[in-house]
Structure 1
Amino acid sequence: MRSLPISIRARLTALYAALFLAAGAVLLGISYWLVSRHFDRTLPDDAAASALADLRGQYLLALAGTTLVSVALGWVMAGRVLRPLSEITATARRVSQDRLEDERIALGGPQDELRELADTFDAMLDRLAAAFSSQRRFVANASHELRTPLTVLRAEVEVTLADPDARMTDLRGMGETVRDAVVECEALLDGLLVLARSDAGLERREPVDLAAAAWRAAGRTDDGLAVELTVSAPEPVVIEGDPALLARMVANLVENAVRHNVPGGWATVDVHVRAGGAEVVVANSGAPVPVASAARLLEPFQRLARRGDGPPGAGLGLSIVRSVAEAHGGAVELEPRPGGGLRVTVRLPATWSEATPGPAPAANAADPAGRRPDGDTLPVAAARS
């Protein structure tokens, strides 16, 4: 059989009454002992015994009465002490996903433990409200982005199938359009998975060489714009983190600098150790970027006007960069360049160490990514050739 629940207020009241009863009993006991000694010295035995009997009855009545008063006062005081908890409980019951924005405790009073609890609860609600708002915006944007290629797929297939005289060239054209739309969907879903994985935090940590990641990313980047891409990473820059996420972060930075550029433009990638951590700085030429629009480029699906002849993009590149950097305790800073293009700086915390020295490479040899052993920068276009 389950016992009846006892509220904290009732338990505090019982505790207050028990403490008062114990203190009163001790005080009255000492008083009775002192009075009895005095009576023994000054009164005959019969008179002393009768007086002490009357005194015991009076003391017991006084103790019972004060105990009842202490119960009443303890109940009132416990209610006053626990009133903030009632407000916190009532707010927690009212909170729902649709009421996160306006439901706060905002507890006043002294800066005690209950005030700290209420402020912590309000801060948690602020974080939840921001997370739900970001989630709703993300889902809405993702739905919109996925709807576009799916609409293209459906329209292309329906138009081709509706033509009974469709020729082989028409079918091939439909196939190419469907293929491009599928590639766009795959790129979008891949970006969404990486973004979700980085938002969920790090599953593993191991040494990652950001310099090597930059050289690998540069060696794989090609946008057909004859962009002069120069990498400056003459020495290993090793930090603790998730290898796949950090490689994707650096690759997104390099791809973004090349893709959003102008024909014959330039892009630079600088990976180096900074005081207290590591830093990756990517700058490029390109169209002017309004200062007011730079910050929103770090949000998912936010992008500036796209080149009509450029490769499709979902607007997830820089948002993934920010998410991965924050998952590793770092930060991202965007700065529009006066002549056009962007300067993106990623700062990661001081969880880095020098790479273990290995055998020296052959003189004047370059590694597969185009890296020179003497530490000089090397245009990647030359490395790819």
Structure 2
Amino acid sequence: MSDGSGPRAARGSIEDGTPRSSRLRRLRPRLPAMTLRTRLTLTYAVLFTLGGCVLVLAMTTAFYHEIFRPLPAHEVPSRLDPDHDHIVGLSDQIRDAAASRLLVISLVLLAVVVALSALAGWWVAGRMLRPLAAITAAARRAGDTTLHERLRLPGPDDELKELGDTFDAMLERLDAAFAAQRRFVANASHELRTPLALTRAAVEVTVAKPAVTEAQWRAMAADVADSTERAQHLIAALLVLARSEQRVTDPVEDDLADIAAEALDGIAAAVRARRLRLRVELDPAPVRANVALLGIAAANLLENAVRHNRDGGLLRVATAAAREGEQAVLTVANDGPVLDPRHVGDLFEPFHRGVHTRRGARAQGAPEGSGLGLSIVRAVARAHGGQVTAEARPEGGLTVTLRLPA
């Protein structure tokens, strides 16, 4: 007969759907995780203990070997005293007691030294890991409003100093990225608000009139179409910029000269309309890249060179392979107004239109454009692992150089 304890016990172990072993593991107290400082201290203590034990054993063994080794033959007396055996036994007892006492004293001293070494190791580990604590605290404080803070760790140029400098550089890049993002969002909001405001104003002015003629309706429709087209172009440019800032995942082999030639075909009508003096030097420049993005970058460079040129001015386009074929280079130079070399780098910022840039409304006489052309070029260059630079020409205008790894 069965008392039923077995089945009841089995049912009790699974009645809550959890195996008994799992519940027992959850009931066990969890030990706190050891910090790096504690692990270093324990490592120092263990290593010192092992070394001390080896030293004590070696010292005791040598001591035993020296005091218990037999006397040389020439030191043994020829005539033995009647009490010789008693003296030898007493001597053995004295040596045993001395060896045992030496072992006890050595072990006590070893324990004291291990304790002191553990305390010293704890202090040394704290001193060595203090930069890590500072880095951890800075990482916890890091936010979009505290990215301007820097560690600037003092001390020698060791691994921890290098880690702190790397963390400072990362904070600097993040701070610049957040600042650029805030500027971009603010500028994009303003640029998108302008065509919408123009559309709304045109509609409200027309609707508010007591009697609207067909010509007025057509004029309003034209204004709305222009504003809508401007917003559409801006949104398209923003999408291209966002796509350009990603890493290239599907590169193909092509020639930068062919890409530049296609971009030249797109601006041929504008070049003839403004009677520009065109100089083309398209030498072979093999490149492995995303052809679509690179075509947009080349087209933006040429369109900017035409838009910001003067009638009858110079437009020079050249491609070449540099550094023994390791780079493909596209150079675009144009005439135009004299630019301040100190502010040339600002032209690559989103929505920057050179001397026509204004944060309120579009300046009078500013060339048409969204102000994203050179920003897209820079994003495309970075996505391909290259770079783009601009240099103000003394006689006026700009020289932009796009360098891509071949």
Q: What TM-score, normalized to structure 1?
A: 0.82
2:250 is aligned, of 194, 204, 213, to 204
User: What is the rounded CA distance, in whole Å, between the counterparts of 2:97 and 2:366 in structure 1?
Assistant: 110
Gaps of 5+ in 1: 352-385
Residue type of the partner of 2:307? R
- Whether 1:24 and 2:35 are equivalent positions in the alignment is no
- Larger mean CA deviation between 16-25 and 30-39 belongs to 30-39
Partner in structure 2 of residue 14 of structure 1: 42
Partner in structure 2 of residue 348 of structure 1: 404
Aligned CA RMSD, in angstroms, stands at 2.5
- Larger mean CA deviation between 249-258 and 284-293 belongs to 284-293
Shift, 1:25, TM fit: 0.7
Matches within 5 A, 1:131-280: 131-221=177-267, 222-223=269-270, 225-228=273-276, 230=278, 232-276=280-324, 277-280=327-330
Shift, 1:22, TM fit: 0.8
CA contact (8 A) 2:306 2:334 kept: yes
CA contact (8 A) 1:227 1:266 kept: no
Q: Which is bigger in relative contact order (C-alpha 8 A, separation at least 6)?
A: 1
- Whether 1:58 and 2:105 are equivalent positions in the alignment is yes
SS at match of 2:390: strand
- Whether 1:285 and 2:323 are equivalent positions in the alignment is no
User: What is the rounded CA distance, in whole Å, between the counterparts of 2:224 and 2:122 in structure 1?
Assistant: 74
Partner in structure 1 of residue 369 of structure 2: 313
User: What is the rounded CA distance, in whole Å, between the counterparts of 1:9 and 1:295 in structure 2?
Assistant: 47
Residue type of the partner of 1:37? H
CA contact (8 A) 1:205 1:242 kept: yes
Change (3 A) 1:23 1:194: same
- Whether 1:108 and 2:161 are equivalent positions in the alignment is no
Change (3 A) 1:231 1:271: farther
Kindly name which structure, 1 or 2, has the bigger radius of gyration based on alpha carbons.
2
2:167 is aligned, of 104, 121, 127, to 121
Partner in structure 1 of residue 382 of structure 2: 326
SS at match of 1:98: coil
1:76 is aligned, of 105, 123, 126, to 123
Partner in structure 2 of residue 359 of structure 1: none
Shift, 1:348, TM fit: 2.6
Change (3 A) 1:80 1:341: closer
Gaps of 5+ in 2: 1-25, 71-87, 357-361
CA contact (8 A) 2:277 2:312 kept: no
User: What is the rounded CA distance, in whole Å, between the counterparts of 2:45 and 2:218 in structure 1?
Assistant: 89
Identity %: 44
How many residue pairs get aligned? The number is 349
Q: Deviation per CA, 1:182-226: give whole Å up to 9, x if none.
A: 211121122222222222332222113222222222222244833
Residue type of the partner of 1:81? M
CA contact (8 A) 1:107 1:118 kept: yes
CA contact (8 A) 1:16 1:74 kept: yes
Q: What TM-score, normalized to structure 2?
A: 0.78
Q: Deviation per CA, 1:87-107: give whole Å up to 9, x if none.
A: 222222222211211x11111
- Whether 1:47 and 2:94 are equivalent positions in the alignment is yes
User: What is the rounded CA distance, in whole Å, between the counterparts of 2:341 and 2:107 in structure 1?
Assistant: 82
Residue type of the partner of 2:371? G
Q: Deviation per CA, 1:36-94: give whole Å up to 9, x if none.
A: 22332476343333333333322222222222222222211211111111122222222
User: What is the rounded CA distance, in whole Å, between the counterparts of 2:293 and 2:277 in structure 1?
Assistant: 22
